[in-house]
Amino acid sequence: MLITGAYQTKFGELWDKSLSDLIFEAGSNAMKDAGVKPAEVDLVLVGNMLSGQLEGQEHLGAVAAEALGINQAAAMRVEAACASGGVAVNQAVNAIKAGAAKTALVIGAEKMTDKSSGEVALSLMGAASEAERQAGLTFVGLYGLMARVYFDRFGLKKDDLAHVAVKNHRHASLNPKAQYPYAVDLETVLKSSCVASPLHLFDCAPITDGAAAIVIQSVKSEGRGAKRGVEIAASQVATDSVSLTKRQSLVEIGATKTAVKKAYLEAGVEASEVDVAEVHDCFSIAEIMAVEDLGFCKKGEGAKAIKRGEFDFGGRLPVNLSGGLKACGHPVGATGVKQVVELALQLRGEAGERQVKGAKVGLAHNVGGSGGTAVVHLLKKI
Amino acid sequence: MLNKFKFKNVGVIGFGAHVPTYRITVDEIAKVHEKDGRAIAASLGVKEKAVADRDEDTVSLAAAAALHSLKRVQGKLFKPKDLGAVLVGSESHPYAVKPTGSVVAEILGVGREYLTADLEFACKAGTTAMIVIASLIEAGLIEAGLAIGADVAQSRRGDALEYTAGAGAAAVVLGSKKYPWQAKFEAASSFNSDTPDFWRRAGQKFPAHAGRFTGEPAYFAHVEEGTRQFLKKFRQKIGWFNHVVLHMPNGKFPKKAAARLGVTAGQLKTGFIVEKIGNPYCASAMTGLVKVLEEGRKNQKILMTSYGSGAGSDSISLTILQKNSIGKDTDVSEQIKKFEYISYSKLC
Amino acid sequence: MKAVSVWRRQKTNYQNLGIVGKVVSKTRIIEAPQGFVGPYWVVMVAAPLRSESFEGQERVVGQWADVVEPKIGMKVVGVLRRIGEAGSSGVIEYGVKWKQL
């Protein structure tokens, strides 16, 4: 199973692009990259969370098929909150494994800037439970509750979070597709205003428009892209309770641990063999927990390791070279697919200024909500 | 005999009040209007008033008071489902159509089989609720009932009412001899007329009033004459009561009415709460009554006269039978002590 | 219609009234979403009050309804308050918020 085509649109406040425009741009360019014609695609999956709430548009599979001129494929939308993109990739992989498709086009897309931030904040609460919505817990608030417990458990302070944003912005300055392709200094991050304690503005991913797409083909297929193919060595989804109150622990995301364990097993790979990773930094605390949950460092050591530069470009395991969700941007449904696109570029040697030399194994980690869903993909250079 | 409510089979089996935590001083309000706060506080006999938080309303206050009152019921026999009637008197029911009583009953777990409808008579609807409930019990038609007076009073910015219009709730559970009585609910009478001293038209957010007309022809006429009629009907003398509770729209009116009725400062003292919490309308006299029930001694007699603009007064007499220390941490005096000042801008 | 979902939630909205618990986490929401008026505290409460650790215990989230700031480990009780924003014409929803005991 190979990724033969990969493409990401520019992420940002794309006022003149509609959701359909974004789907079209990502899908058509990914097919072009794979050397695949619309008629050859037999499965289209669209990862998206908010199109219904924000613009009243459902039925995205058919919308994408129309936009891309794909008439004969099975097309449908996949939704798992912020893990919509990653789960869409997983569903394509499963369909191909089952022989139900040979050439799948997976698009992750989100259009968020047509509505006010208050309305978007409300709609993002759809990733949480009814009780959490009733309590007025914003998405930031949910991670704020986790951060508070993490702080008390591991002696972390609010200022320790800042290194995540500094690192990811530095990486984004090497990525022309990022929403914020420039570095920020520590002071700027530390001075930013509180959103939901203890998380401040620079601890949070922005509101973003954007799309990304990949073409996955079963190995037997041929085409221009097959020569630059990247293998999907593992694709695993795990879930945990949607409610934060029903989790076993608030200082880790259990679904991540479950998914990555299954993924490492499926790919026959250990954490130490991962050369480059894209992890789900919807908030700084999320990246800190992610590097621990994925086995990149010990529990409680994440913030220190990030501060020391272990996960920097040039460090022992570069994390979020795209800029992550924080600096590349987080068009919710697109992120999971974008992460896979970024890894594909790295493993093909096409990542330009942010290329990790000799990268062979990449890990993509995508989370839905406060940890109700987690998806881990392991990609290998062939 | 007309309007002579004599009860033999009705007792108080539970009681409680809820005083909201926020306070705003007369001084703070006066500053906004560039007036002399100290002079106004002195002329009203009120220093500060209790006000509701953004997420409190008549229902939430009524439920809080009711929960305190149910907690006070003694013995294992009583359950909320035993309440045959739940009546809430208020002039700030959240809905013009949909009774506060049914929302409160649902919250308390009363079940489906009870009588309810909302009562309105300015500040005296809660005491009227008590008389109706007592009558149902006396007639043997229900065994227990809950009467609540609750309000989140509204006043127009700049109106004199701003200094005293407060918030609060008080609840009294009445029951037949089936339940242990903490006080005898003995007698009541009501005295009413059509007197337009203070009113609120349907659809209007704020009440209107007739200024100084709210004094002699309204408050004083009904409180004094209503009380005299009660004493005459039941052949009682004012001096026989250890405690007298009057409706407290401010700190001056009840003291003046008391003096004219021959009520001493000592009789008035325990149930006199307006200086620190203002006027919680339907909960004014009833909160005073609850405080007397909390602090009074066995065999002491209580006379309460409420007043509702429009206008009318209810007079009710009780005798304390026993002291009960359940729920002392929710005593009115404790709640008056625990407060937090709020600024005028934060209030609105 | 929001009225129907409010009615259906009556079964669960009053469950924690009077329940005593302990604050295990808190966050102050500064940027409130549409339909909410910030800032406000949201707490996670572990109840019933029994063990030191909250793992395995029943936990609930809810808004804070006291004038003092919530602190981790604080003993709290569930009180009835308005929840949500009914506006001037909608059905009002009531639920449990948390206050220091």
A228 pLDDT more than 90: no
| Of residues B123, B132, B124, B315, the one with CA closest to residue B229 | B315
- Residue A137 and residue A243 in contact, taking contact as beta carbons nearer than 8 Å: no
Number of domains in chain A: 1
Q: Which residues of B touch C19 (CB under 8 A)?
A: none
Best to test chain C binding among B60, B95, B100 (most C CBs inside 10 Å): B60
Q: A107 forms bridges with which residues in the sheet?
A: A46, A213
Average pLDDT, whole number, for chain A?
A: 96
Domains of chain B (ranges; CATH) run 5-182 (3.40.47.10), 188-320 (3.40.47.10)
Query: Integer distance in angstroms from the first to the last C-alpha of chain C?
Result: 37
Instruction: With residue C27 as reference, give the H or E element that holds it.
Output: strand C20-29
Does residue A333 lie within any of the structural domains?
no
Q: Which two tokens stand for residue A226?
A: 């097959």
| A132 touches C: beta carbon within 8 Å | yes
How far, in Å, are A76, A81, C94 from residue A59 at the CA level? 7, 16, 36
Helical packing angle, A60-68 and A19-34, nearest 10°: 60
The reported pLDDT for the residue numbered A317 is 98
pLDDT tier for residue C72 given thresholds of 50, 70 and 90: very high
| A206 touches C: beta carbon within 8 Å | no
B345 pLDDT more than 70: yes
Nearest CA in chain B to C97: B55
Nearest CA in chain A to C36: A136
Known catalytic residue: A280?
no
Q: Percentage of chain A with pLDDT > 90? A: 95
CB–CB contact C32 A246 (8 Å): no
Separation of alpha carbons A68 and C73, rounded Å: 56
State which amino acid sits at residue B60.
S
Number of domains in chain C: 1
CB atoms within 10 A of CB C30: 20
Best to test chain B binding among C41, C69, C81 (most B CBs inside 10 Å): C81
Does residue A132 lie within any of the structural domains?
no
The reported pLDDT for the residue numbered A223 is 60
Nearest CA in chain B to C93: B103
Instruction: Average the pLDDT over each of A99-103, B278-282, C31-35 and give the range with the smallest value.
Output: C31-35
Q: Which of A163, A169, A280, A330 is catalytic?
A: A330
Separation of alpha carbons B330 and A103, rounded Å: 70
What Rg value do the Cα atoms of chain B yield, rounded?
19
How far, in Å, are A67, A176, A347 from residue A33 at the CA level? 18, 18, 15
| C78 touches A: beta carbon within 8 Å | no
Q: Percentage of chain B with pLDDT > 90? A: 94
Nearest 10 degrees: CA dihedral of B214, B220, B222, B223?
A: 130
Beta pairing, strands B144-152 & C40-47: unpaired
- Residue B164 and residue B49 in contact, taking contact as beta carbons nearer than 8 Å: yes
Task: Provide CB contacts within 8 A for B273, sequence distance 6+.
Answer: B248, B284, B287, B288, B291, B332, B336
* Residue from the list C17, C66, C81 with its beta carbon closest to the beta carbon of B56: C81
Separation of alpha carbons B36 and B299, rounded Å: 45
Subunits next to A (3 or more Cβ pairs <8 Å) are: C
| Of residues A365, A235, A357, the one with CA closest to residue A291 | A365
Q: Which two tokens stand for residue B296?
A: 């009074």
Range of the domain at A66: 2-115+207-227
* Residue from the list B54, B64, B107 with its beta carbon closest to the beta carbon of C14: B107
The pLDDT of A50-66, averaged and rounded, is 96
- For the beta sheet containing A373-381, the strands, ordered from the edge strand earlier in sequence to the opposite edge, are A74-78, A43-47, A103-110, A210-217, A2-8, A230-239, A373-381, A361-368, A276-278
Does residue A134 lie within any of the structural domains?
no
* Residue from the list B21, B67, B103 with its beta carbon closest to the beta carbon of C67: B21
Q: Give DSSP secondary structure letters for B224-261.
A: HHHHHHHHHHTT--GGG-SEEEE--SSSSHHHHHHHHH
pLDDT tier for residue C50 given thresholds of 50, 70 and 90: very low
Classify residue B119 by its DSSP letter.
Answer: B
Question: Do you find a cis peptide bond into B144, omega within 30 degrees of 0?
Answer: no
pLDDT tens-digit readout, A129-148: 999 999 999 999 999 999 99
The whole-model pTM stands at 0.91
Q: Which two tokens stand for residue C27?
A: 């966050």
CATH number at residue A109: 3.40.47.10
Instruction: With residue C63 as reference, give the H or E element that holds it.
Output: strand C58-63
SS (H, E, C) chain A: CEEEEEEECCCECCCCCCHHHHHHHHHHHHHHHHCCCHHHCCEEEEECCCHHHHHCCCCHHHHHHHHHCCCCCEEEEECECECHHHHHHHHHHHHHHCCCCCEEEEEEEECCCCCCHHHHHHHHHHHCCHHHHHCCCCHHHHHHHHHHHHHHHHCCCHHHHHHHHHHHHHHHCCCCCCCCCCCCCHHHHHHCCEEECCEEHHHECCCCEEEEEEEEECCCCCCHHHHCCEEEEEEEEEECCCCHHHCCCCCCCHHHHHHHHHHHHHHCCCHHHCCEEECCCCEHHHHHHHHHHCCCCCCCCHHHHHHHCCCCCCCCCCECCCCHHHHHCCCCCCHHHHHHHHHHHHHHCCCHHHCCCCCCEEEEEEEECCCCEEEEEEEEEC
- Residue B164 and residue B15 in contact, taking contact as beta carbons nearer than 8 Å: no
Nearest 10 degrees: CA dihedral of B335, B337, B340, B345?
A: 80
Separation of alpha carbons B219 and B213, rounded Å: 9
Range of the domain at C57: 2-100
CB atoms within 10 A of CB A271: 15
Classify residue B123 by its DSSP letter.
Answer: B
Q: Which residues of C touch A250 (CB under 8 A)?
A: 25
Subunits next to B (3 or more Cβ pairs <8 Å) are: C
Q: Which residues of C touch A197 (CB under 8 A)?
A: 26-28, 30
CB–CB contact B60 C14 (8 Å): no
Separation of alpha carbons C28 and A376, rounded Å: 32
| A197 touches C: beta carbon within 8 Å | yes
CB–CB contact C42 A136 (8 Å): yes
Judging contact as 3 or more Cβ pairs under 8 Å, the answer for B and C is yes
What's the gap in Å between the CA of C78 and the closest CA on chain A? 13
B119 pLDDT more than 50: yes
CB–CB contact A137 C72 (8 Å): no
Of the two residues A178 and C51, the one the predictor is more confident about is: A178
pLDDT tens-digit readout, B130-142: 999 999 999 999 9
Q: Which two tokens stand for residue C60?
A: 């609930």
Does residue A327 lie within any of the structural domains?
no
Q: Percentage of chain C with pLDDT > 70? A: 90
Average pLDDT, whole number, for chain B?
A: 96
- Displacement of CA A55 from its chain's centroid (Å): 22
Overall residue count recorded for chain B in this entry:
348
* Residue from the list B21, B106, B340 with its beta carbon closest to the beta carbon of C10: B106
Interface of A with C in 29-48 (CB under 8 A): none
Separation of alpha carbons B255 and B250, rounded Å: 9
The pLDDT of B242-267, averaged and rounded, is 98
How far, in Å, are A229, B127, B200, B322 from residue B123 at the CA level? 81, 9, 12, 29
Known catalytic residue: B123?
yes
Q: Which of B18, B56, B68, B91 is catalytic?
A: B91
pLDDT tier for residue A265 given thresholds of 50, 70 and 90: very high
CB–CB contact C28 A196 (8 Å): yes
